[in-house]
């Protein structure tokens, strides 16, 4: 009961903070094209990565609240400066005689006046330097990874003197056992599951925790970035192929018990499936998290479009309900990604019986 009350209070707090943050960038007034376009722009800004943390803005004073991050560019040498030089994308940054401007989250070379050339599709044509910056998502990944490392280091230390879990281990131990007994063992097998447990636990807790942080008003959208889901999927792909047994490749290129003519037909399909599986992992996680963020932000935006208090109350209730669902989705997506990864590992080390 106490846990339910805590979750309820957390969702309510996050919902009102998100609404307040959204209200700071959306003016109150009659519904119109300008307000709807502004809400759409705010949603797109929330989904995109950025070179700084922008919490909210005060339109009356024009002040922006947040903190800058390091910008690291390679442009005829290393160029390092803080993103505060851009003044939230409103100014041209001058570094060692070079001029840079931010457009839709990307950094372009420009002149002193910040001139940008565009094509017919409104894509900037200016030269882009190699960008190795510590962006919002990169910074969040580093912080969350250190947080996870600290939690599990503390958990490991709690077992030194006593077999019974203490502190955070009381909460984490059931989840570790869940990953081991409900994901790793059934899908990989008793003989081989242990060597994959470190990776499976890392993936599960990383995806789950970053998904939870994505529900905060900080604008963190790590797993809604396809580059991040691609990196997770490619790691699963590499580990699967690197640890696969000979029988795994035999069942792809020369399936036992299948007529020889059909083997030539099925082999290209099976080989294609090797690459489709990690692609499906990447798209599934990216699409589900992005869709959840878009729906929640859209419903919050509708609170400022409608002046009718009845409509606002209805949208607020729906937003609260979907926020509760998103807490489940955050866990569910971590579970699905880890389970499918374990399935791929299991197929790579499975010991098949010979067909005659």
Predicted pLDDT of residue 334: 93
CA distance 18 to 319: 11
Mean pLDDT of 67-88: 86
| Weakest mean pLDDT among 81-90, 105-114, 185-194, 304-313 | 304-313
CA distance 22 to 297: 8
Please name the residues in contact with 20: beta carbons below 8 A apart, sequence gap of 6 or more.
56, 217
pLDDT over 70 (residue 25): no
CA distance 254 to 20: 61
Q: How far is CA 109 from CA 94, 135, 352, in A?
A: 10, 18, 57
Predicted pLDDT of residue 183: 94
pLDDT bucket at 14, cuts 50 / 70 / 90? very low
pLDDT bucket at 299, cuts 50 / 70 / 90? confident
Predicted pLDDT of residue 143: 92
Sign of CA dihedral 55, 33, 292, 234: negative
Mean pLDDT of 268-293: 87
Tell me what percent of the chain is helix, strand and coil, each rounded to the nearest 5.
60, 10, 25
Residue position matching structure tokens 């709690």: 158
pLDDT over 70 (residue 1): no
- Does pTM surpass 0.75? yes
| Weakest mean pLDDT among 146-155, 182-191, 308-317 | 308-317
pLDDT in tens, 86-110: 887 778 888 888 889 888 778 888 8
> Who has greater pLDDT, 208 or 40?
208
pLDDT over 70 (residue 62): no
Predicted pLDDT of residue 233: 94
| Weakest mean pLDDT among 9-18, 96-105, 176-185, 337-346 | 9-18
Predicted pLDDT of residue 58: 65
Indicate the average pLDDT of the chain.
Answer: 79
Predicted pLDDT of residue 261: 80
91 by DSSP, 3-state: which? Answer: coil
CA distance 251 to 328: 37
Please name the residues in contact with 292: beta carbons below 8 A apart, sequence gap of 6 or more.
322, 326, 329
Mean pLDDT of 132-145: 91
CA distance 293 to 308: 24
Are the CB atoms for 86 and 263 separated by under 8 Å?
A: no
What percent of the chain is predicted at pLDDT more than 90?
A: 22
Predicted pLDDT of residue 185: 93
Most confident of 47-51, 52-56, 70-74, 158-162: 70-74
pLDDT bucket at 31, cuts 50 / 70 / 90? very low
> Who has greater pLDDT, 259 or 281?
281
CA distance 23 to 335: 34
pLDDT over 70 (residue 256): yes
CA distance 89 to 106: 10
151 by DSSP, 3-state: which? Answer: helix
Mean pLDDT of 4-31: 45
Predicted pLDDT of residue 29: 41
């Amino acid at each position: 009961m106490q846990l339910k009350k805590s979750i309820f209070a957390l969702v309510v707090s996050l919902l009102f903070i998100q609404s307040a943050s959204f209200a700071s960038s959306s003016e109150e007034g009659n519904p119109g094209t300008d307000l709807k376009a502004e809400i759409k722009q705010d949603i797109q800004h929330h989904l995109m990565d950025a070179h700084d943390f922008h919490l909210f803005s005060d339109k009356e004073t024009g002040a922006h609240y947040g903190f800058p991050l390091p910008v690291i560019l390679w442009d005829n040498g290393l160029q390092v400066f803080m993103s505060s030089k851009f003044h939230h994308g409103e100014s041209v940054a001058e570094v060692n005689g070079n001029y840079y401007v931010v457009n839709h989250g990307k950094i372009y070379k420009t002149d002193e006046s910040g001139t940008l050339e565009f094509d017919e599709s409104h894509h900037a044509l200016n030269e882009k330097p190699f960008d190795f910056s510590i962006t919002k998502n990169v910074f969040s990944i580093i912080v969350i990874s250190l947080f996870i490392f600290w939690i599990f280091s503390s958990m490991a230390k709690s077992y030194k003197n006593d077999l019974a879990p203490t502190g955070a281990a009381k909460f984490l131990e059931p989840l570790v056992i869940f990953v081991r007994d409900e994901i790793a063992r059934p899908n990989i097998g008793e003989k081989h599951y242990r060597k994959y447990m470190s990776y499976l636990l890392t993936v599960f807790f990383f995806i789950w925790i970053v998904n939870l942080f994505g529900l905060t008003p900080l604008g963190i959208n790590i797993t809604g970035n396809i580059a991040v889901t691609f990196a997770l999927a490619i790691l699963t792909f590499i580990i699967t192929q690197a640890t696969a047994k000979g029988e795994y490749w035999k069942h792809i290129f020369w399936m036992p018990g299948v007529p020889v003519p059909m083997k030539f037909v099925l082999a290209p399909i099976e080989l294609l499936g090797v690459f489709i599986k990690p692609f499906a992992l990447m798209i599934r996680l990216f699409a589900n998290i992005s869709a959840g963020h878009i729906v929640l932000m859209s419903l919050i935006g509708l609170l400022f479009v409608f002046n009718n208090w009845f409509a606002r109350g209805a949208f607020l209730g729906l937003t609260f309900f979907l926020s509760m669902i998103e807490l489940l989705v955050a866990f569910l997506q971590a579970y699905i990604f880890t389970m499918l990864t374990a399935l791929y590992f299991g197929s790579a080390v499975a010991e098949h019986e010979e067909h005659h």
